[in-house]
Structure 1
Amino acid sequence: MLPSSRTTLLTAGLLRMISIALEQLEAVRGASERAEFAGLAETANRLEAETDLLEREIEEQCLQGFAQPSGEVACGFYVMVFRSLTHLERVGDYAFRVATDLEHLAPRTRSATLQDVLPITQHLSEMLELLAYAISERDLAAAQRVQRLDFEQVDALYEQMLRASLTRLRERPEDHEVALAANRMARNLERLGDHIGHVAARLERHLLAGEAKRGKSLRRAN
């Protein structure tokens, strides 16, 4: 397979993994908005199984690319994809954990606790959509924006969820199990955002390296 064809195939695979993660978050957000949580974990698990299968397929394509002659830019892209796979797989894992906690937690808590999930999932979806754009268009600014969203929005909402959970625990100490579950859910969402940010950071480094190589080539030509 030509390096350009493999690059196209790997790009499509990454975009599909991101699309699956978006479907998982949409399921979480939709369940929260409707207050209908039955079957949420099953849906997230089905999507996670697809992610796991896709991860193995993309990994195999990367390994085949490493074994065949290719240019420095193509090889750098393979490395970026290969090292991003674990992060995207972990995104799916954390989305599944959140879905499972929500389904178990919903019958035992007030709507305020559940509604805390909505703002952070919206930002996480925005990060995934922007990451997909950055990958498909090789857009450096978009990759950097993904990372800023993680620092500026997701981390701040994570702290807000923790504070709200502690406040409710003081008000209703008998709900300690619910508070612990809410804390765990907040942490899983925060970690999900971290992994999206890690993929964006790897893409940023790959794009910056490509720009540096092009700059050297132009200087030699002149």
Structure 2
Amino acid sequence: MADTTKPDVLARGHTVRAYDQELAELTTLICRMGGLAEQQVAGAVDSLLRRDVGIAATVIQRDDEVDALEERVDQHVIRLLALRQPMAVDLRIIAMALKISNDLERTSDYAVSIAKRAQRLAEQPELRPIASIPRMASACVAMIKDVLDAYVDRDADKAMAVWNRDHEVDELYDSLFRELITYMLEDPRTISRCIDLLFIAKNLERIGDHATNVAEKIHYMIHGSQINRPRHEVG
């Protein structure tokens, strides 16, 4: 009797390898998108601190690249859901990729907003240096980098470490808010510039929130459960 099982085994093996490759491609797309979003934030703040409108213009132009990557993630996810009918952990990985890509796209949008305000501020007299903005930016960029590492490693603990750091960005924002209000009260001529800086600080605070959102999605992706405890209760 002819051996009819071997071709079936080979076909299944090929299917599994192809599926694994498609999942790996999805991870690669998210990482590319995250790396670009991280560069966008760093570039936007660099343009602000250097008063360099050229760097700001580059950040604004590169937003299209982030949008294009989000569209590729969307198409990849739809194809996987339609053709592979994933279950359990694989389904969560694929579904969360859609949500994570949205957080990364919003992160780039906030970087563009910072860059546009940096262009406007570069045309006005410089205010006394405000240390909280580069500190906030550094904290946000580190959160993005670390949460992407957690995504690649499928490490929920590492993701939760990022999640618990969001309060640091919030505290820097509150401190900067009070400082800028003081500037405006002391010298009304600074109001326009201070408002721009307040919006920049708020954008950074929201970028930190999106990194936190990604951490929550990684936790769900791995454990299948939502985080419903205050930050200080989660290790």
TM-score with structure 1 setting the length: 0.87
> Corresponding residue for 2:201?
186
Is 1:71 paired with 2:91?
Answer: no
Following the alignment from structure 1 to structure 2, what is the Cα–Cα distance between the partners of residues 141 and 12?
21
Structure 1: runs of 5 or more not aligned: 211-222
Following the alignment from structure 1 to structure 2, what is the Cα–Cα distance between the partners of residues 70 and 106?
51
> Corresponding residue for 2:174?
159
Following the alignment from structure 2 to structure 1, what is the Cα–Cα distance between the partners of residues 132 and 103?
25
> Corresponding residue for 1:220?
none
Is 1:96 paired with 2:134?
Answer: no
**1:104 partner letter:** R
Query: Is the 2:45–2:115 contact (alpha carbons within 8 Å) kept by the matching residues of 1?
Result: no
Deviates more, 1:155-164 or 1:2-11: 2-11
Offset of residue 26 of structure 1: 2.3
Structure 2: runs of 5 or more not aligned: 1-14, 226-235
- Structure 1 moving runs of 4+ over 6 Å: none
Query: Is the 1:3–1:74 contact (alpha carbons within 8 Å) kept by the matching residues of 2?
Result: no
Is 1:38 paired with 2:57?
Answer: no
Is 1:7 paired with 2:20?
Answer: no
* Percentage of identical aligned residues: 24
Q: Secondary structure of 2:123's partner?
A: helix
**1:22 partner letter:** E
> Corresponding residue for 1:137?
153
Q: Choose the corresponding residue for 1:206, options 203, 221, 228.
A: 221
Q: Secondary structure of 1:198's partner?
A: helix
Deviates more, 1:186-195 or 1:112-121: 112-121
> Corresponding residue for 1:215?
none
Offset of residue 111 of structure 1: 4.4
Deviations 1:28-50 (A, max 9, x none): 343345x2412133111222110
Is 1:126 paired with 2:179?
Answer: no
**2:106 partner letter:** R
Following the alignment from structure 2 to structure 1, what is the Cα–Cα distance between the partners of residues 109 and 130?
20
Matching of residues 164-183 of structure 1 within 5 Å: 164-183=179-198
Following the alignment from structure 1 to structure 2, what is the Cα–Cα distance between the partners of residues 92 and 81?
16
Following the alignment from structure 1 to structure 2, what is the Cα–Cα distance between the partners of residues 89 and 95?
10
> Corresponding residue for 1:18?
34
Following the alignment from structure 2 to structure 1, what is the Cα–Cα distance between the partners of residues 224 and 161?
18
Deviates more, 1:85-94 or 1:172-181: 172-181
Deviations 1:49-94 (A, max 9, x none): 1000000001000011111233322111111111222111100000
Offset of residue 173 of structure 1: 1.0
> Corresponding residue for 2:76?
61
Q: Secondary structure of 1:108's partner?
A: coil
> Corresponding residue for 1:218?
none
**1:112 partner letter:** R
Deviates more, 1:90-99 or 1:20-29: 20-29
TM-score with structure 2 setting the length: 0.82
